A = this chain, B = another copy of it.
Amino acid sequence: MADNRHSQAQSGEALLFLTDEQLRKGIEAMFFAYRGFTADPDRILAKYGYGRAHHRAIHFINRSPGSTVNNLLATLGVTKQSLNRVLRALVDDGLVESRVGARDRRERNLHLTDEGRALEAELSEAQRKRMRAAYRSAGPEAVSGFREVLEAMMDPEQRRQFHRMREANT
Interface range, A side: 35 or more
User: Is A1 a contact of B128 with CB atoms below 8 Å?
Assistant: no
User: Is A131 a contact of B23 with CB atoms below 8 Å?
Assistant: yes
A154 interface residue (CB < 8 Å to B):
yes
Q: Given known contacts A132-B23, A135-B23, is B142 in contact with A36 (CB within 8 Å)? A: no
Q: How far is the CB of A13 from chain B (nearest CB, A)?
A: 9
Give every chain B residue within 8 A of A99 (Cβ-Cβ): none
Docked Cα-Cα span, A149 to B93, in Å, equals 36
Please, what's the 1-or-0 string for A44-88, where 1 marks a CB less than 8 Å from any CB in chain B? Answer: 000000000000100100010000000000000100000000000
User: Is B128 a contact of A149 with CB atoms below 8 Å?
Assistant: no
Q: Find the residue from A30, A133, A152, A169 having the highest chain B CB count within 10 A.
A: A152
User: Is A148 a contact of B138 with CB atoms below 8 Å?
Assistant: yes
User: Is B143 a contact of A36 with CB atoms below 8 Å?
Assistant: no
Docked Cα-Cα span, A161 to B21, in Å, equals 17
A100 interface residue (CB < 8 Å to B):
no
A105 interface residue (CB < 8 Å to B):
no
Q: Find the residue from A24, A137, A141, A165 having the highest chain B CB count within 10 A.
A: A24
User: Is A138 a contact of B149 with CB atoms below 8 Å?
Assistant: yes
Please, what's the 1-or-0 string for A126-170, where 1 marks a CB less than 8 Å from any CB in chain B? Answer: 011011111111111111111111111111001101100110010
